[in-house]
Chain A
Amino acid sequence: MERRKVLGLAGASAAGVAAAGAGALALARHDQQPATATTSEADAAGAIPFYGERQAGIVTAAQDRLHFCAFDVITDDKAALVDMLQNWTAAGARMTQGLDAGTFGAVGGSLEAPPDDTGEALGLPASGLTLTIGFGPTLFRDVRGKDRFGIAARRPAALADLPKFPRDTLEDAISGGDIGVQACAHDPQVAVHAIRNLARLGMGIVSVRWSQLGFGRTSSTSRSQATPRNLFGFKDGTRNLKSEDTGLLDEHLWVQPGDGPDWMTGGSYLVTRKIRMLVETWDRSPLAEQQMIIGRDKGEGAPLTGKLEHDEPDFAAQDGEGEPVIAVDSHLRLAHPDQNGGARLLRRGYNFVDGSDGLGRLNAGLFFMAYQRNAHKQFVPVQNSLAKQDTLNEYIRHVSSGLFACPPGMLAADDYWGRALFA
């Protein structure tokens, strides 16, 4: 009980910070406190409602921690898969509210039976846990082209495989997946607990293909949150879509009626990219070069033509020698909506460090996640222009890629993940 009180106080101070001065740089670090109290969705113990018109975990104020898991479906039995999705939904409804995965719990069941919850979250509050599910292209037709579950005709055109981008160095073993589950929480133990229990419930039906931990959010999805920094030390996702931008969300984030099959209306498409950052070489580059590559200054995060983070960049501005102040191959210019037909994304990425690489370097980077109405019209053009020209490419490698169709939310307990798709 004591730790929940602590959490409540921390949350309250974060709310106070947000109210005191939006955009005040000096206060940005306080935003690392749990964002629980800054979002009206969460109750006092940090539980975010599981049911709702949209899946939680998309416009929900980005939590501090991530465990993402991609699963392969290893059965051809549709009934077994649907049964598992029902079990997952029931467990998800429980775990997001701070309950054990099963009804008897980690210590409440028979002594002869393995517990129906793995136990590592005992005593921990809900911690803002959200579970967001998406279906990958291979669920509809597997790699051999087989329509295992009779749903190939329901595959949205927008779920076509992503094209190969220049400089991609993708590893198949950590890319793709039939089902993706994003678990976000303020406590990494709570996020891992959720994925672990879903994986366990799925034994024989699904198999973990790859999974990724993220330790620090790199995006804000609400104006109440300050823009955090990626491992290059720069603010990341200043221009992110925010939960408050309701009009823009319909235009850029949520699948609209008529966009594709009805089961996806109100949902969103998730692109995941594991981007290894070669931080050691980056750290040796001069500040001016770093700022030139990004197109923003490192301290404030302002465009090189402005003073404050949210100032509009002036792409026409030239320096004394007639060169553009914001370089033509800078990250800011290439990723900007104005350069990409207005394409906007809701980014929800996390920093990662997966140990070291055996060559004395941190295996570090950004696990990029972005939600959007249609990845082929939003992520794809942006990534194409970045991959071709971005000077940042010298310091990054895209090693994993995923695309998942995330359906709308569920309104009541008779619904389950994938019901409209498999009906």
Chain B
Amino acid sequence: MHTRLLTAGAAATAAALLLTACGDKADDKAGDAASGKITVAASDTECKVERTASSAGTVTFAISNKGSKINEFYIYAAGDRIMGEIENIAPGLSRELIVELPAGAYETACKPGMIGKGIRNAFQVSGSAAPLTEDAKLAQASKDYQRYVKSQTTALIEQTTAFVTAVKGGDIEKAKALFPIARTYWERIEPVAESFGDLDPKIDARDGDLEPGVEWTGFHKIEKDLWVTKDVSKDGKIADQLLTDVQTIVTKAESVTFSPVELANGAKGLLDEVATGKITGEEDRYSHTDLWDFAANIEGSQGAIQALRPALEERDPALVKTLDENFAKVEAALEKHRAGDGWKLHNTLTQADLKELSDDINALAEPISKVAAIVAKK
């Protein structure tokens, strides 16, 4: 009964788990716990694995079926990749599974009746893991994403320059038209920008984001003047500053490489941006051009995932399929709101439209949140 709390609280340290597990069975206490057989008591409703951790190498499970149904035993790596299995364990019988397990997090599963997800438990294998950089596909992912960033930053400079020129020339209509377009390139690589600290707020802060006394600059200040005060005559300095800040970010962005885990977290971060800021319409509260940013965030997320794709295909092909399907769903849902070359305004969408988009974003973000751990693993 005590394992209930311990699995939750102490799983971080394998040593603690070994102690916990051994405490259940006096016989094994003196022996070499790490290399000995791990008994599994299976019934129709329970799967009691004697230990929940082991050292890397050959691990032997001894499964006894104490239930009334034919049972199976599996050990899974991430993404339900089967590392070893024993089928057809008749009631009353015992069988052994010998499996080679590198360090990592696994799940054990008994499947009474041989169907369903099984009764699962965590199984941690500790030992030395090779460093990530040895994986050529992951090294390539970082390079591919760098290329993607470069393709976006070039356009970002061009479009921001055009926008700034229109603002300074007092051409409100032209500036309004260019605003969502310049932001598209910004939003696609926003996690990159956010990694450079104080530049992001200078470029993208919203009214009320800043501490008292800090001057409000950037896209959204100009947005307010374009749509609300309809006067950009005093925005020349802010416009120049915007372009300078964007150029600084671009220079920095082109000189850094992002690790696979950073790419994965960036892909997720972009969807979180959509789920919190764009769905609600708070990002572009004066222009209501949130769907441009929405689409750009999705595209940027896809850009990062595409760079990771070869590595992901190898490690978790089922997840890649899920991501493809869910990206397609989001795109299809968004496509309904296209207007000409751009998008409908946020304030013309119904609550039902927004609910559908929100559901589809959640459906995509949940599997994307699993990518980081998969590319972090050897």
Contact = CB atoms under 8 A, between A and B. Distances in A.
A414 B113 contact: yes
B97 interface: no
Interface in B303-362: 326, 355, 359-360, 362
A107 B45 contact: no
A1 B9 CA distance: 12
Given A103-B122, A204-B364, A413-B45, A87 B117 contact: yes
B114 interface: yes
A105 to B, nearest CB: 5
B11 A108 contact: yes
B170 interface: no
A165 B120 CA distance: 47
Contact of A107 (B9, B47, B110): B9
A99 B118 CA distance: 16
Contacts of B1: 43-45
Contacts, number: 123
Contacts of A93: 45, 119
Interface string B59-77: 0000000010100000000
Interface string A375-417: 0000000000000000000000000000000000001111110
Contacts of B365: 203
Given A112-B373, A411-B44, A414-B113, A207 B261 contact: no
Contacts of A204: 326, 359-360, 362-364, 366-367
Interface string A88-129: 011001000111100111111110111001000011000000
Contacts of B359: 74, 204, 207
Contacts of A109: 11, 105, 122, 373
A97 B376 contact: no
Contacts of A106: 8
A105 B45 contact: no
Contacts of B364: 204
Interface in B4-49: 4-5, 7-9, 11-12, 44-47
B117 A123 contact: no
B11 A413 contact: no
A86 B117 contact: yes
Contacts of A203: 362-363, 365-366
Contacts of B367: 204
Nearest to A103: B122
Contacts of B362: 203-204, 207
B228 interface: no
A200 B117 contact: no
A414 B112 contact: yes
B79 to A, nearest CB: 12
Given A51-B45, A110-B373, A200-B366, A122 B120 contact: no
B197 interface: no
Contacts of A415: 113, 116
Given A107-B11, A203-B365, A414-B115, 11 more contacts: A43-B1, A45-B1, A90-B119, A108-B8, A108-B11, A110-B105, A110-B376, A110-B377, A204-B366, A414-B44, A414-B116
Interface of B: 1, 4-5, 7-9, 11-12, 44-47, 67, 69, 105, 107, 110-122, 124, 261, 264, 326, 355, 359-360, 362-367, 369-370, 372-373, 376-377
- Give the top 3 A-B pairs by smallest Cβ distance, nearest first: A414-B113, A204-B363, A108-B11
